Structure 1
Amino acid sequence: MGLRDETNKQQQQRVVEEVIEKLSPPSSIRHLYMEGYFGSRLPNWMMVPATCGFKSLRILRMDKLHYCTQLPDGLCQLPSLETLAIYNAPTIRSVGPEFQSPSPLAVGGGIDVTARSVVTFPNLTFLRLAGLCEWEEWEWEEQGEDATVDAVAMPALKVLQIIDCKLSCLPPGLASSRRHALRELCLYKLSNLTYIENFPSVVQLQVLYCPELRRISDLSKLQKIEISYSPNMEVLEGVPSLDSMEMRDGTMETVPEYLTTVTPRYFKLTCSEKLYKSLLTGSSSCEYHKISHIKSCAIDYFRRR
């Protein structure tokens, strides 16, 4: 029965892939939403070089790609794409460099290197990758010192949200010193993430449910940060512009030591009832000195329902 079910599934996948291959949208399309795609590979019209025809596509959303094992490598050449959201692709384990940069093409027995100089995702401002729950590796090296700012992939990216995956670190090509447009970074349920560093333009950072996170450093323009349910954080440094900070963790019974090294104008803490009552006693609390240098503090605790 199991073999028959697997054979039937493969046959259905082939049918779905053949049908979707014939349903290539018109090149003038502006918004495209694909949901519940059953195939194991995305159609060729989403791959290099066919996507070059979709010059007007601005918003692309794909959801429930349960059997796709890789992201299409043609998306980076969409010249007008502004918003890209990919949800629920649980079989993707690795994202290679071909996703954010075109692969060099073989020409006459050699390699056409002009593809490397093409600006990829030139107008993408919003990127959300959510529910790639087995995603462990993002291969994306930073370009060499001779590369120009304009040659950086996703040069216009302003908002990045990564939700529910197993990445242990963010790639150098994303955390690049040449990336100047990125303002908001949201990392939610990255179960293996250990550090965040070298984002020179990020102004707002949200870190939620990242249990292995140890260090956040070198975010020179960071103004607002939220750290929730990331109990192993040890270091917060290189954030001279920090203005507002919020921490939320109903299990927190001691104030993190790294708070003594930062001076936000405003700080909000939502913690356990035990820590809350201790901090209310002011200077008599052994934890209060860690936040006494912050001028404006709001402290609360999670109430049991």
Structure 2
Amino acid sequence: MLKLCLRLLVETGEVPSSIVLEIAWKANLKGKHNLVTLHLEWNDGVNRVKIDFDVLGNLEPHRNLKALGIKGYRDNRFPRWMMDPLFPNLVVIGLVKCRNCQNLPALGQLPSLKDVYLEELDVLQFIEGGSVVRKQREWFPSLKKIYLFANPNLESWVKEEEVSLHSVVVLSVRNCPKLSTMPMLPSLEELTIEKCSEKLMLSLLKVNPEKNAPSSSLPNSSSLANLKYLDISSCDDLLSLSEDGLQNLTSLVTLNIKFCPRMASLPEQGLGGLTSLVSLKISDCESLASLSGMRYLTALQKLHLARCEKMHILEGDMDGLTSP
């Protein structure tokens, strides 16, 4: 069967609402069994929020849909076909510039969902607004990748509950300043943090703040035993990396740190836990003065340092390191 991928630009302009709704209805996307990818985009230059809800309601696709993208939708609600878990085959969903969106669809009940991409959802506070009543293994059972970009009011994944996303392997969070908690991610392999709060770091690395070292340090990371790639950037308040936290990252292969202007050192004993680390890149950390403990990185093959003006490499810092 021929697979159909459809991209629609919704431009309502000065066309009467009745005609716009009729056109959307006659598109009969619900009857297109071979429709697997649907991307709907609203024209930024036309402001007719009142009919967006009904137009999107009339563009309901067939349940065979595998990928859904919506950009520029302006209502604060989604129609019923999005709020109910009606798409057993949906693998990818992306919501971009839905600036008035207050509640998301019930993403956790989509059995095949693997990738979630949320960007510039200006008023969204929680990804799952209600209580998680399903068994943990039935909640986001297939989710692999999460991308959260520029969501200024996002506070948490789910409100007032501690939950786990057992299958997630990739998480990228950028410029979500109010995001303070995330579910436990025991299978996580790749983590990118940019312009994030200290509270988010505590949540991701799952440590009790009262037991942590200085409040400006990255905490214990025992819940990230499978982490292979860690990229930290633009964390202005970060003074150091937690010694205990580093010791638990035994699977980490790549560590990148950049634009952390207050980070002064790397914990000597903590580096001893990075037994798998192959690549270490540090740049634009103007306060970083010491590399004590580098000798513990016995698997290290690549070391890149750039624009760290206070860096002084002392005799013995590199003892034990060998050229590949």
TM-score (norm. length: structure 1): 0.68
- In 2, the alpha carbon distance for the partners of 1:208 and 1:132 equals 17
The C-alpha deviation readout for 1:117-167, integer Å capped at 9, x for no partner, is 551111121111111133234447445xxxxxxxx53x2222111111115
Contact 2:295 2:320 in 1 (8 A): no
Match of 1:223 in 2: 253
Contact 1:79 1:123 in 2 (8 A): yes
Match of 2:102 in 1: 69
Contact 2:260 2:284 in 1 (8 A): no
Match of 1:206 among 214, 227, 231: 231
Match of 2:305 in 1: 270
The C-alpha deviation readout for 1:215-252, integer Å capped at 9, x for no partner, is 35132322211111123346653733342343333352
- In 2, the alpha carbon distance for the partners of 1:57 and 1:166 equals 30
Contact 1:191 1:211 in 2 (8 A): no
Q: 1:169: Cα distance to partner?
A: 4.7
- In 1, the alpha carbon distance for the partners of 2:96 and 2:290 equals 38
Pair 1:266–1:70, CA change in 2 (3 A): farther
Match of 2:194 among 174, 188, 197: 188
Pair 1:166–1:66, CA change in 2 (3 A): same
Residue 92 (str. 1) matches residue 111 (str. 2): no
Pair 1:291–1:235, CA change in 2 (3 A): closer
Pair 1:255–1:294, CA change in 2 (3 A): farther
Residue 131 (str. 1) matches residue 125 (str. 2): no
SS of aligned partner of 1:76: helix
Match of 1:300 in 2: none
Match of 1:292 in 2: 318
Match of 1:19 among 52, 55, 60: 55
- In 1, the alpha carbon distance for the partners of 2:250 and 2:129 equals 27
The C-alpha deviation readout for 1:75-104, integer Å capped at 9, x for no partner, is 111111121111111222344564xxx644
**Range with bigger deviation, 245-254 or 54-63:** 245-254
Contact 2:283 2:308 in 1 (8 A): no
Match of 1:56 among 76, 89, 95: 89
Contact 2:126 2:155 in 1 (8 A): yes
TM-score (norm. length: structure 2): 0.65
Match of 2:110 among 71, 75, 78: 78
Structure 2 stretches of 5 or more lacking a match?
1-46, 206-220
Q: 1:67: Cα distance to partner?
A: 1.3
**Range with bigger deviation, 242-251 or 122-131:** 242-251
